[in-house]
Structure 1
Amino acid sequence: MSERPTGYTWAVRGALGVLLLALPFYLDRFWLQAGLFAMAAAIGAIGLNMLTGSTGQLSLGHAFFLAVGAYGYCVLAGDGGGKGELIGFGLPPWLAMLLAVLIAGAAGGLFSPIAGRLRGAYLGIATLALIFVGQHVLFNAHDLTGGYNGRDVPPLSLFGFAFDDTEVIVAAVPFQSAEKLWYAGLVLLTLSALFARGVLRGRPGRAMNAIRDHRIAAGVMGVPVARYRAGAFVLSSMYAGLAGVLLALAFQRTVPEYFGFILSLEYLAMIVIGGLGSVAGAVLGAALVSLLPQVLSRYGDALPLVSAPGTGGVSPGEMARYLYGATVVAVVLFLPGGLVQLAARRIPGKRVSLKKALKEKALKKEAPEKEVQP
């Protein structure tokens, strides 16, 4: 059983919440858009962490479900029907967002029987096939996706309020699409994190951890392994779909090249760096991996070894991959619990609970093994 947050923890959370709410009044569009990318990445990383970190199912096809969410929203909310135009159903954007998330979950549900039969590297290779299929469809289904050029993303609107570039003056600060989407992203990320936390701390979370630690023993104890593994895959796909929608809204244009194998590897790096099986760890890892290329791109001129793309040196994107690749190795070797473990050590009253959690985890791993012995 987890301990209740201390007063210090609530104070930190409150200060962080106030800071996030105030940032649109002080940051320029570049940093607001970078923050939106981080929020979208955090939502997708939370979903992948429930699948890989909590249930133990390796997925290399997470980018496929992000693409389903992003393009599903564009097709459902976009206008179409004219000769030579892209297909669009013209649905209300809020409804298109909801349906895009459900379609991503349905895609995960169609793949879940395969996921229920495979484990480890075999499941990873099977999910990798989704990337190849998805890339082929995105580049060739021109009427739906726009092909190599992609397609524009319709702005989100809710109850008559449009999250577009129409200026709204708030406290003498002009709010455009980035500022408006910032608060929408915060709401979506908060709801996603709270829901995932409730799942992982409840009975489903304990069953998922049991499947991850010892699948056969979990089945002997009465856990419906196939159903929970399928459910975790569907839930992870829905999180990826929601992340894809938010990512498309932040980009304002979908491009097929973005939803490739590299993106799936980045999401795996997020959950490993942040901490497997932890919602807070997924958010920390997503912030690091998504913001690092933005920081290097912004301040590349002042940093050694970093140069503009096409000049023959190391580009900001390449340098970012080198850095978080090295971070993954360092975390695996020296900090298996991820950045969330390091953060817990810095919070008063958390160090004891961290040791207790690690001890309980070790006991859970040993207990099922003893039960299956004759």
Structure 2
Amino acid sequence: MSDGRTPLRPRPLRWGMWAAGALVLLALPFYLDRFWLQAGLFAMAAAIGAIGLNLLTGAAGQLSLGHAFFLAVGAYGYCVFAGESTGSQIGLALPTWLAAVLAVLVSGVAGGLFSPVAGRLRGAYLGIATLALIFIGQHVLFNARDVTGGFNGRDVPPLSLFGLTFDDAEVVVAAVPFGSSEKLWYAGLLLLLGSGLFARGVLRGRPGRALNALRDHQVAAGVIGVPVARYRGAVFVLSSMYAGIAGVLLALVFQRTVPDYFGMALSLEYLAMIVIGGLGSVGGAVVGAVFVSLLPQLLTRYSDVLPLVSDPGSGGVAPGEASRYLYGAAVVAVVLFLPGGLTSIAARRIRTTPREKR
């Protein structure tokens, strides 16, 4: 007799779906133009940063409004470590792969310096404290011209790894020219895969259970032996390092860093990503990041055929502004009608109908 529970889809089918998706992602650089590849790279970088924020906010229940600060640390840290010194800017001219690693570590160190605060505050109090990081970061980015280049930003040296330089010098593969976007596509996929698997392991292991306990009931977690301040500080450092990885990848895609990008709006976008996709879930972070990051790209691409959307000053709503309205409405809709985020819909569809009792 059946126990009435809904069985999951057979594992071979699930593995087949994952394999088909992987093949599609691997083949896309052979068929897509530069616009779509850059949009996909933005989505990958956003997904990595959103996974880190979901560990902090979704799993541990710690509100952070300063995620953009740590993306800026990663992006500008890479530029400083990999760039060369000029008359107006500081650069250490380190190997670019080492510069990327050091930039992520510096992001973690920045998170570690803030972790004593993160370990003792929660909720809105931590959100307000992290909000201060945005204002401090913007002041430094605009005024430390020797390091950041000021208002104009600074150029991003292309990444070199295993003899391959991720620049616009074309490499022909199967009669298809590969520029910087095509090369970075595969690097972005590897970074996203590694980031997702590591976060999945954290959430499914003992640290994940401890973080969920902190989120659901801090006092009870402390009573059963969870070191509250230590776990809060540790997850803040880990989230900062994820933001550093995302910042390095964004810098490589943009090929130039500018302070205006790493402002309050970016932090709010990351919060929208994890709420829309689903709090506490790696898949939710990825889905939300794809939705929020690709929406303005699509509106910009097709603004000439969409109603009410047009270039600034032409009488319609600018694509960037329209995208904020849309994913703001999506956040409200998810909170009211779909608390589990978009991934909860997929979770329901994965389950088959219950078998009839014999």
- The one-letter amino acid paired with 1:197 is R
Q: Does 2:286 correspond to 1:265?
A: no
Q: Does 2:83 correspond to 1:78?
A: yes
Q: Which has the higher contact order (CA 8 A, sep 6+)?
A: 2
Question: Do the aligned partners of 2:272 and 2:327 also contact (CA within 8 Å) in 1?
Answer: yes
Structure 2 match to 1:274: 277
Matched position secondary structure for 1:169: strand
- The one-letter amino acid paired with 2:145 is H
Structure 2 match to 1:294: 297
How far 1:5 sits from its partner (Å)? 7.0
- The one-letter amino acid paired with 2:62 is Q
Question: Do the aligned partners of 2:9 and 2:350 also contact (CA within 8 Å) in 1?
Answer: no
Query: In 2 relative to 1, CA 5–42 (structure 1 residues): closer, same or farther, beyond 3 Å?
Result: farther
Structure 2 match to 1:55: 60
Query: In 2 relative to 1, CA 4–303 (structure 1 residues): closer, same or farther, beyond 3 Å?
Result: closer
Query: In 2 relative to 1, CA 5–257 (structure 1 residues): closer, same or farther, beyond 3 Å?
Result: farther
Structure 2 length as normaliser, TM-score?
A: 0.95
Aligned partners of 2:341, 2:205: CA distance in 1, in Å? 22
Matched position secondary structure for 1:117: coil
Structure 2 unmatched ranges of 5 or more: 1-7
How does 1:39-188 map onto structure 2 within 5 Å? 39-80=44-85, 82=86, 84-188=87-191
- The one-letter amino acid paired with 1:139 is F
Matched position secondary structure for 1:300: coil
- The one-letter amino acid paired with 1:128 is L
How does 1:21-32 map onto structure 2 within 5 Å? 21-32=26-37
Q: Deviations over 1:298-319 (max 9, x none)?
A: 0011000101123232100000
Question: Do the aligned partners of 2:119 and 2:231 also contact (CA within 8 Å) in 1?
Answer: no
Question: Do the aligned partners of 1:101 and 1:241 also contact (CA within 8 Å) in 2?
Answer: yes
Structure 1 match to 2:350: 347
Matched position secondary structure for 2:172: strand
How far 1:86 sits from its partner (Å)? 1.1
Aligned partners of 1:25, 1:12: CA distance in 2, in Å? 21
Question: Do the aligned partners of 2:148 and 2:154 also contact (CA within 8 Å) in 1?
Answer: yes
Aligned partners of 1:249, 1:195: CA distance in 2, in Å? 23
How far 1:7 sits from its partner (Å)? 2.1
Structure 2 match to 1:361: none
Q: Deviations over 1:63-112 (max 9, x none)?
A: 000000000000000011x4x23110000010000000000000000001
Question: Do the aligned partners of 1:77 and 1:89 also contact (CA within 8 Å) in 2?
Answer: yes
Query: In 2 relative to 1, CA 4–48 (structure 1 residues): closer, same or farther, beyond 3 Å?
Result: farther
Structure 1 unmatched ranges of 5 or more: 353-374
Aligned partners of 1:324, 1:214: CA distance in 2, in Å? 30
Aligned partners of 1:91, 1:298: CA distance in 2, in Å? 38
Question: Do the aligned partners of 2:9 and 2:351 also contact (CA within 8 Å) in 1?
Answer: no
Q: Does 2:197 correspond to 1:194?
A: yes
- The one-letter amino acid paired with 1:341 is S
Structure 2 match to 1:6: 11
Aligned partners of 2:280, 2:27: CA distance in 1, in Å? 30
Q: Deviations over 1:279-300 (max 9, x none)?
A: 0000000000000000000001
Q: Deviations over 1:106-146 (max 9, x none)?
A: 00000010111111111100000000000000000001000
Structure 1 match to 2:3: none
Matched position secondary structure for 2:196: helix
Aligned partners of 1:255, 1:290: CA distance in 2, in Å? 18
After superposing the two structures, state which structure 1 stretch, 128-137 or 307-316, moved more: 307-316
Q: Deviations over 1:305-351 (max 9, x none)?
A: 101123232100000000000000000011000011011122244x8
Q: Does 2:234 correspond to 1:214?
A: no
- Superposed structure 1 runs of 4+ greater than 4 Å apart: none
Query: In 2 relative to 1, CA 55–4 (structure 1 residues): closer, same or farther, beyond 3 Å?
Result: farther
Aligned partners of 1:121, 1:105: CA distance in 2, in Å? 23
Question: Do the aligned partners of 1:9 and 1:347 also contact (CA within 8 Å) in 2?
Answer: no
Structure 1 match to 2:338: 335
Aligned partners of 1:128, 1:22: CA distance in 2, in Å? 41
Question: Do the aligned partners of 2:41 and 2:188 also contact (CA within 8 Å) in 1?
Answer: yes
Structure 2 match to 1:17: 22
Structure 2 match to 1:324: 327
Q: Deviations over 1:233-269 (max 9, x none)?
A: 0000000000000000010100100000000000000
- The one-letter amino acid paired with 2:19 is G
Aligned partners of 2:13, 2:52: CA distance in 1, in Å? 28
Matched position secondary structure for 2:177: strand
Matched position secondary structure for 1:303: coil
Question: Do the aligned partners of 2:69 and 2:137 also contact (CA within 8 Å) in 1?
Answer: yes
The count of residues paired between Structure 1 and Structure 2 equals 348
